[in-house]
A and B are shown apart, each in its own frame.
Chain A
């Protein structure tokens, strides 16, 4: 049992280590996030100027600017876009090697992704948060002993939801062979529906009502709402945990179905 846990722990550490190797990429990614963040701050500030500062769904100007920097930082943790590795290995057939190893493929990939997210938290999230807090009006949590732990849990859930959606999309390669179209579609729609471009509270009421029934807000808007204390904390976390459970179960079922379908030809 200990050996098994040790194995997954090492995969997690390897995931952390793998991404910490590319220092230049961290700098480039952070610079990109900052410029996009500044553009967003400009646009959303103009919104409040036009409204004489009237808040929208619990978001005033300070909350919105805090939302921008939290979102830009979480982007490096949650990773909406991911890589094509698993889909490519399924297409080429290399996935058979992964499936024959003495591990649970879903858990192993998840551990690698958690390692990546951990590195993202240190190298991508914290610098963006510091930048936002130093140079812009910033809304710190009013109740730090509750909000910070809740935010960490909420962020972990966001990573889990994001991982499982990507995992499910990649698994479609078993049936579609070329799943790049589906994956690209998700990459584009996913981030917007998660609240990356504009806070979801700005969306028309009908759109907000529909989005509650999707996993998208769980990846970005939910952790941000926990941090800026908009909406009910227990409901937000419940929404996220529900989607983690549903998507993990779906991933398990789909992987089992795919494994039954795989035929290894020759060797």
Chain B
């Protein structure tokens, strides 16, 4: 047990160190500061490495208590992914397939938050490979906000990682990445689903705009 835990911690260190060598990632705490209370970090999703990058810029103490939410179908496909997903990063695996699923993802996430951990969530639901900056958000973020009205939802913009390893490429290209944390939002009393999702999406987009304007 001890050895397994040590190995998992060492693997995590190795993966985050590799991510740092390639991306030199830096954190921008623009709208908030690190906090120990349970939070939902919701981010844009362009690469499999997204959660690693967010995870690695969090203060070490918070890392242990921050769990990425990931699709079970992908992260259970082989033993390497099972190991990295479950043991190394303590991912919360959810069943994405609506029909035939036996667990309720929103309930799973609520349980984790109530147990005092934070979550990393990608509300686009899948990796964005289009030229759009952000895909439409799935509804899960809203349902989670309704069950956990006291939890802070922090938008997190990841810049450039989609250029480091675009879909279908094998060799990463070293480019500098930044992870920008915006101002937290909460569900307002009586706020509709679409209004909340729009507000969350705009908040996230606003973080990227300033940095990306020059690419136009």
Are A and B subunits of one complex? no
